[in-house]
């Protein structure tokens, strides 16, 4: 990545202002957002972040009638293959408890997990929303962030538990994960990719996944995409479409989990 194309990481310092702007916007109170009637939504945080990083979005989703479930992640630094298996179990439990497919929202690295989940288990996932996720080029990030990726990989390679290893990035450990990440989604699964040219962490072009059926640009920092009123409106619309498509297709509760043996 050339110096000219490096993301402007200094823009990440305005996160507090972005949060303040969101809570003042009518959409955060639910204005114009139809009641979701308990639609299940699963949220996955980004690299070096935990479930609490999506706290405001979780509260908004619950306020607008969604049934949310956390990923159970304190710090998103685990091996992609291991993390995906654990996340699949949680999504499967949520889908079975609600009797319908789950919408998955993932921020940054969390969005890569969301896409692989949707590809591997379309019987569980109605649609995904990614927020600043470098799907096209996972390491297209600011050099300071890439240094953190390498540092975590080194610690994992040296045996620190719960961390991805260098073999996860360049070896055979997560080969199938990255192959799936580069692929298309099933036709019955929706995909909204939200990105920002003001992203201070991820090079925005890496978020332009050709597999997405909708791509939306917002004016936000990288972390601020989960605090952006425009993103919230687009997310509400996308989640409504995903559920409406499932209802129109008449997917019965008994169909949930039917693909388990084949996955």
Q: Which of residues 8 and 2 earns the better pLDDT score?
A: 8
Q: Kindly report, residue by residue over 96-105, the tens digit of the pLDDT.
A: 999 999 999 9
Please name each of the domains of the chain with its CATH number. Answer: 3-143+176-255 (3.40.50.1820)
**Sheet of strand 125-131, all strands in order from the earlier edge strand to the far edge:** 67-70, 40-44, 102-107, 125-131, 190-195, 214-217
In sequence order, what are the beta bridge partners of 40?
67
In sequence order, what are the beta bridge partners of 191?
128
- pTM confidence score: 0.92
Q: Angle, nearest 10°, between helix axes 15-24 and 55-63? A: 10
Q: What is the pLDDT of residue 260?
A: 39
Q: What is the pLDDT of residue 248?
A: 87
Q: Kindly report, residue by residue over 191-217, the tens digit of the pLDDT.
A: 999 999 999 999 999 999 999 999 999
The alpha-carbon radius of gyration of the chain (Å, integer) is 17
């Amino acid at each position: 990545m050339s110096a000219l194309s490096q993301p402007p990481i200094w823009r990440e310092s305005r996160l507090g202002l972005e949060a303040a702007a969101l809570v003042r916007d009518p959409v955060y109170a639910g204005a114009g957002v139809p009641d979701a009637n308990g639609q299940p939504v699963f949220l996955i945080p980004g690299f070096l972040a935990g479930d609490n990083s999506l706290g405001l979005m979780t509260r908004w989703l619950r306020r607008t009638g969604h049934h949310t479930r956390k990923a159970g992640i304190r710090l998103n630094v685990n091996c992609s293959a291991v993390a995906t298996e654990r996340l699949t179990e949680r999504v499967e439990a949520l889908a079975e408890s609600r009797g319908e497919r789950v919408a998955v929202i993932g921020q940054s690295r969390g969005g890569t997990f969301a896409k692989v989940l949707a590809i591997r288990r379309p019987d569980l996932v109605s649609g995904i929303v990614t927020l600043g996720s470098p799907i096209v080029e996972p390491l297209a990030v600011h050099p300071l962030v890439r240094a953190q990726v390498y540092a975590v990989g080194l610690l994992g390679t040296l045996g620190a538990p719960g961390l991805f290893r260098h073999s996860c990035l360049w070896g055979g450990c997560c080969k199938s994960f990255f192959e799936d990440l580069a692929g298309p989604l099933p036709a019955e699964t929706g995909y909204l990719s939200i990105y920002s040219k003001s992203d201070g962490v991820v090079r925005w072009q890496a978020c332009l996944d050709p597999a997405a059926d909708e791509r939306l640009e917002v004016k936000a920092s990288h972390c601020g995409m989960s605090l952006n009123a425009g993103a919230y409106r687009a997310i509400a619309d996308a989640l409504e479409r995903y559920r409406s498509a499932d209802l129109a297709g008449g997917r019965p509760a008994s169909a949930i989990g039917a693909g388990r043996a084949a996955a």
